[in-house]
Amino acid sequence: MNTIFRPKLFTVLKDYNLQAFQKDLFAGIIVGIVALPLAIAFAVASGVSPEKGLITAIVAGFIISLLGGSRVQIGGPTGAFIVIVYGIVSQYGIDGLMISTFLAGIILILFGVLRMGAVLKFIPHPLIVGFTSGIALVIFSTQIKAAFGLQIAEVPSEFIGKWACYFSNISSLNIYAIAISGGTILLTLFAGKLIPKIPGSFIAIITMTALVQVFDMPVNTIESVYGDIPNSFSFSVPTVDWTNLPNYFQPAITIAILGAIESLLSAVVADGMIGGNHRSNTELIAQGIANIFSPIFGGIPATGAIARTATNVKNGGRTPVAGMIHALTLLLIMLVFGRWAKLIPMSCLAGILIVVSYNMSEWRSFKSILKGSRFDIIVLLTTFFLTVLVDLTIAIEMGIVLASLIFMYRMSKINGVIQHESESDEIQNYNQIPKEIEIYEISGPFFFAAAKRYQETLRNLKSSTSVLIIRMRHVPFMDTTGVRNFTEIIEDLESRKTKVILSGVNSEVMGDLRKSEINHLISNENIFDNFDDAVIAAKNLL
């Protein structure tokens, strides 16, 4: 089997030992506890019954860890899918959701087989921030009814209509529900700092559920809205109306693309935390298989979850075994304690999702992009408003088309090659330079499609490099994705004690870098117009 399609589990088991298992066991149990309230909350917010979130985390989470291309990826339902799932269920029902998820699984497998893992890394950063922030705002808006205990029979699906409905029914708010959702938010944010090994959201659920039962508070619970939570699995095949099958392809493609982007982003973040390299195509195939089996067992779409993956890493998980243990932990909780989950207040789940939406909002990145290029601002705001006011599928499609058109426009404005350094600076023989000094030259636009390749190349520098000179005389412009990845490169090199010197940066690129506050990482004394001066400075740093 080609290594690009070989699950990471098969690789790590060669050197697996008891000490590694103990770390994975602890991390897996902690992540399972973290995933419990999130799985239930994501399912409820998506318009399906709570157990479907648990089933997704168990079935899909186990498969993603078993067959995936990342050492530490944790799979399951995520907030990004809430908007999509809710829309599919509203329009096509549960059977439509099952068919769409199944088709999305097949599409994800095709992505992996066709080796499209690298292609999906070319999604521009402003587009990702735009739809992620939009999803966060939509999730927040869906939780107002439960958070305030508003007595509304049916909330409109449109964003503006939803808020108009809330304001017109504000007189029906429930003070108990507000107290529970507010207390949940505070506990979720701060309880984990007092008891580091137990997630704040888990503490919030236990505390708020107990308070509601002890004081018999008049608030909605999972039981009053959905009834009992089953503590068993059911194998089912949806009823397929073949005449409607074409209608499911658009939501299926949306699920597949969003799932691919989310899972690969999560895997990249995890690589940075553990210093590893995931197999993107293997990961896509695993995600596809997981999304085929999830609906068959009664689950919803799944993908890699960044927050749970980070929790796994921070608690010592280093192999896919931790992810499998996370799934088994949830299975045990569902079988043994599932009947108590029905007592959880809906306002408590709303509080947890409000925290999730805040964490998803990426407001710092949003604010940073607004300070940058007007072209990136256009992509950001277009994607954001289309996600909130129209549809996520249209937002992603329009964002990609717009980013491509803007790139072509910017390229058309470049007249020839920019030669910022003087011709006398050409040094034909780099062998004259000390071996501790590495030289890397970037040629062409540092934009979203090339940023990852530059990043991966620079991260593979030999460990003996003390000083790195990056020549940028042939870089006409950088977009936000390029600036972001370049900043990550500098941070990574600085953490490895490699000093960075820039040479030949034109005024436009320098302006973009300064907006990202690059001077906090590279002082102005290490940025030169002239390559000879950069070499002298590099020698002085040795």
Question: Which tokens belong to 226?
Answer: 């959905």
Contacts of 68 (CB under 8 A, 6+ apart): 7, 8, 9, 75, 282, 283, 286, 287, 320, 323
- CA 438 vs CA 127, 333, 469, 488: distances in Å: 34, 53, 6, 18
Condensed to tens digits (0 to 9), the pLDDT of residues 193-230 reads 777 777 889 999 999 999 999 999 999 999 999 888 88
- Tell me the percentage of the chain whose pLDDT exceeds 90: 51
**pLDDT beyond 70 at 426:** no
* The pLDDT value given to residue 181: 97
* The pLDDT value given to residue 522: 86
* The pLDDT value given to residue 523: 84
* The pLDDT value given to residue 269: 83
* The pLDDT value given to residue 423: 42
Contact present, 47 and 225 (Cβ < 8 Å): no
Q: When comparing pLDDT for 452 and 419, which is higher?
A: 452
pLDDT-derived band at 429, boundaries 50, 70, 90: low
* The pLDDT value given to residue 424: 43
Contact present, 151 and 169 (Cβ < 8 Å): yes
pTM for the whole structure? 0.81
What mean pLDDT is predicted for residues 272-285?
89
* The pLDDT value given to residue 320: 97
Contact present, 498 and 465 (Cβ < 8 Å): yes
Condensed to tens digits (0 to 9), the pLDDT of residues 360-372 reads 898 989 998 898 8
- Partners of residue 490 on adjacent β-strands: none
**pLDDT beyond 90 at 397:** no
What mean pLDDT is predicted for residues 276-302?
94
Condensed to tens digits (0 to 9), the pLDDT of residues 321-333 reads 999 999 999 999 9
Condensed to tens digits (0 to 9), the pLDDT of residues 169-195 reads 999 999 999 999 999 999 999 987 777
Contact present, 305 and 75 (Cβ < 8 Å): yes
Closest CA to 475 of 542, 396, 410: 410
* The pLDDT value given to residue 231: 75
pLDDT-derived band at 414, boundaries 50, 70, 90: low
* The pLDDT value given to residue 174: 96
- Tell me the percentage of the chain whose pLDDT exceeds 70: 93
Contact present, 526 and 451 (Cβ < 8 Å): no
* The pLDDT value given to residue 415: 47
Three-state secondary structure readout of 223-259: HHHHCCCCCCCCCCCCCCCHHHHHHHHHHHHHHHHHH
Condensed to tens digits (0 to 9), the pLDDT of residues 333-367 reads 988 887 888 899 999 999 999 999 999 898 989 99
- CA 467 vs CA 175, 284, 382, 440, 473: distances in Å: 61, 37, 41, 11, 19
Closest CA to 256 of 419, 81, 418, 88: 81
* The pLDDT value given to residue 413: 63
DSSP state, residue 421: S
**pLDDT beyond 90 at 53:** yes
pLDDT-derived band at 481, boundaries 50, 70, 90: confident
**pLDDT beyond 80 at 62:** yes
What fold, for 416-541? Transcription Regulator spoIIAA (3.30.750)
What mean pLDDT is predicted for residues 278-291?
95
Report domain extents, the chain.
18-362, 416-541
pLDDT-derived band at 419, boundaries 50, 70, 90: very low
SS3 221: strand
Q: How many CA atoms lie within 13 A of 64 on its CB side?
A: 40
* The pLDDT value given to residue 417: 39
Q: When comparing pLDDT for 190 and 416, which is higher?
A: 190
- CA 457 vs CA 127, 136, 422, 425, 486: distances in Å: 24, 33, 27, 24, 12
